[in-house]
Structure 1
C-alpha cells in the first residue's frame, strides 16, 4: 500500500502519523487491560482508597507514608473481613498496592500520551477533516473510563469485601470498547493516508453480528470474574460430571439466576464460547475473500483458537493466575482481530 504524496508531503494533514499515535495508545490500553486482570486476580483493586489524579502519581516514599496508606486500607471491609483475618502484613499490602498503582499510572500515561500529541496536531491543523470530533470523543471515552474505574472501586470501600461484579464488567467492557474504537479510527486514518478520497469504513451486518456475539461473551466473562464463578468447577467439558451443573439456584427466578448464580454464569460462559466460534468462523470466511484481508482472517482464527484453549486450561488449573491473565489478554487480542476484520469488510461497503 503506497501513501498519497499529496497528503504526506504537501498537505498539513497527517493521517498516518495520527494513525500511528492511536495504535500506540491502543497498545497502552491493552497493557492496562492486562494489568487490570492481574489487579483483579491478586485482589489489589481496593488497596488505594483515595482518588488523587495528580498527587496520586507518586507512590508512598517513606515508612510513614506506607503506614498511612496501610491504615486507610485497614478501614475497608475487605481488610476487616478477609485480608486482616488472613494475616496481611505491610509487605503484603505493598504487593497489592503496587499492582493497583501501576494500573492507575497506566491510565494517567494514556491520557498524556493521547492528549499532548493531539493538541499539537490540532495546532498544526494536521487533523483530517471529520476526524477532530472522533479524536475528541476518544479522549472523552478515556476520561469516562477512569471515572468508571473509580466508581467501581467505590463499590468495594463500603459494605462489600470486593467490588461490584456489574461495575467490574462495565469497567472492563468500557476499556475494550475504547480499545476497539482506537483501532477502528486508526485504520480509517491509515486508509485515508493511502487514498485521500477514501471514506471511513462502515460497520456491516456481519461485522455487527460478530462484535455483538463477542460482546456477550466478554460480558459473561466479566461476570464470571466478578462472581468468582470460575472456581465452581475445575473439570471440562462437563462440570463435575454433569453437562448442566448441580447447584444452580433458581429460587429467585430465572432472571436472577442468569445474572447472579455462579454455576449458571460459568455454564453460559463455557457454551456461549462455541456460539462465538461458529459466528467468527463464518465471519472470518467473509473477511478472507476481501482483497488484502487474508491476514485479518488468519488473526481472527488464531485469536479465538488460542482463547478457547486458554479458557479450558484456566478452568483445569483451578484458575491459575498466569493462565487467567493470558486468557483476558487474548480476549482483548480477539477484539482487535475482530475489529480489524469488520473494518476490512466495511472498507468495501462504505
Structure 2
C-alpha cells in the first residue's frame, strides 16, 4: 500500500533530476558537411558559368558544328597527329555548313573552330567529373545533410540531360541544308544551363546558414516581396530564352540601330518566313525575334524598377541592398543590350552581354532568397 505524503512535500523531491535542455536539436541529423558541400557547389557554379560563356563564344565564332560526332568519353582526346586532323577535317567537310558556307576553309581555320567546340565539350566533361567525385565522396562519408541527397543527385541528372540535349542541338545542324543549329534547341540548351546555374546558386545560399537559422529567418519572410521576386525571376528566364532565339538565327546582326529597327518601330515583313506557317515567324523571323527580345527587355526593366521600389521598403538592410544590386545590374544589362544591337553583335560586346545575363540571373535569385530568409540586422551595429 502506498505511503501517505505530506501536502507540504515538494513535488519531485524524490525523483531524478530533469534532463538539461539540449540546444541545436533542429540541426541534429541535418548538419553534415554543409561548408564543404557549399565550396564544392561554388566550384561547380563557376564551371557552369564558364561553360555558358564558352558556349556563347562557340556560337558567336560559328564553331558549334565543327565536331560532327558525339563521343562523351573517347571524344575527350583531341586529334594528336596530322592524320587525326585530316580525318576530323574530312568529317566536317561532309557537313552542310562546310558545303554551303565554308567551302573555302583550310585546315588551319578548321582547327580554330574545332578547339572552341572541343573546349566547350571538355568543360562539360570536367563538370560531370567534379560533380561525380564530390557526390560519391560525400555520400560514402555520410556527410550529406538530411534532405539534400535528392537535391544534389538532381543536379547530376540535369547535367547528364544537358549533355544529351547538347548533342540533340548540334545534330540539328548536320542534316539537310542547315548551316546553324536549330534555334529552338539552342534555347532549350541554354535554358537548362540557366536552370542548373540557378539551382546551384539557391543551394549555395541555403547552405550558408544552418537549418535552425533558416527556420528562424523564415519567420520574418516578406511574402509579397518573395512573390514579386519570383515573378521577376520567371520573366528574366523568359528573356534569356528570347535572347537564345536571337543568337540562334543571328537576329542580333540584322538591325544595328536603336531605338528604331532600321528606321521603323516595328520591322518590315516581320511575319514572313518562306514556306513556314505564321506562328513560325515568332521563332524564325530575325526582325520579329529581335523585336520581341527588345520589348521584353523594356518590360523586364520596368518590372525591375517596381521590384526595387518595393524592395527598398523592406525592414531588412540585406534585402534592400539585394534589390538595389538587381536594379544596378539591370541598368548595365539594358545598356549592354543596346550596344550589342548597335554593333551588330560584336563578339566582345555580345559575350559581355551574356555575362551580364548570368550576373543578373544570380542577383535576382539572391534577392528572392533574402525575401524568403531575411537577415535580421543589429541596431547596435547599425545594420538594421
- What TM-score, normalized to structure 1? 0.91
Q: Distance in 1 between matches of 2:136 and 2:363?
A: 29
- Post-superposition Cα deviations, 1:127-170, rounded to whole Å, max 9, x if no partner, equal 11111100011110111111110110111111121110100010
CA contact (8 A) 1:169 1:222 kept: yes
Name the larger-Rg structure: 2
Q: Distance in 1 between matches of 2:101 and 2:143?
A: 53
Q: Distance in 2 between matches of 1:123 and 1:7?
A: 24
Task: Tell me, yes or no, if structure 1 residue 132 matches structure 2 residue 149.
Answer: yes
Q: Greater relative contact order: 1 or 2 (C-alpha under 8 angstroms, separation 6 or more)?
A: 1
Which is further off, 31-40 or 279-288? 279-288
Question: In structure 1, which of residues 203, 224, 229 is the aligned counterpart of residue 251 of structure 2?
Answer: 229
Stretches of structure 2 lacking an aligned partner (at least 5 in a row): 1-22, 376-384
Question: In structure 1, which of residues 18, 34, 55 is the aligned counterpart of residue 37 of structure 2?
Answer: 18
Task: Tell me, yes or no, if structure 1 residue 80 matches structure 2 residue 102.
Answer: no
Shift in alpha-carbon separation, 1:317–1:12, aligned structure 2, 3 A? closer
User: 1:347: Cα distance to partner?
Assistant: 1.8
**Residue 350 of structure 2 corresponds to which residue in structure 1?**
324
Q: Distance in 1 between matches of 2:70 and 2:231?
A: 38
SS in structure 1 of the partner of residue 207 of structure 2: helix
Task: Tell me, yes or no, if structure 1 residue 279 matches structure 2 residue 303.
Answer: yes
Aligned length: 344
Task: Tell me, yes or no, if structure 1 residue 57 matches structure 2 residue 79.
Answer: no
Shift in alpha-carbon separation, 1:137–1:49, aligned structure 2, 3 A? same
SS in structure 2 of the partner of residue 234 of structure 1: coil
Q: Distance in 1 between matches of 2:269 and 2:30?
A: 65
Question: In structure 1, which of residues 257, 260, 266 is the aligned counterpart of residue 281 of structure 2?
Answer: 257
Task: Tell me, yes or no, if structure 1 residue 334 matches structure 2 residue 353.
Answer: no
- Post-superposition Cα deviations, 1:288-311, rounded to whole Å, max 9, x if no partner, equal 425222442232122211111111
**Residue 185 of structure 1 corresponds to which residue in structure 2?**
203
- Post-superposition Cα deviations, 1:268-297, rounded to whole Å, max 9, x if no partner, equal 111210110111222234444252224422
In the TM superposition, 1:115-130 aligns within 5 A as 115-130=132-147
**Residue 241 of structure 1 corresponds to which residue in structure 2?**
263
RMSD over equivalenced CA pairs, Å? 2.6
**Residue 92 of structure 1 corresponds to which residue in structure 2?**
109
SS in structure 2 of the partner of residue 190 of structure 1: coil
CA contact (8 A) 1:224 1:269 kept: yes
Q: Which has the higher helix share?
A: 1
**Residue 160 of structure 2 corresponds to which residue in structure 1?**
143
Question: In structure 1, which of residues 35, 46, 55 is the aligned counterpart of residue 65 of structure 2?
Answer: 46
Q: Distance in 2 between matches of 1:211 and 1:12?
A: 29
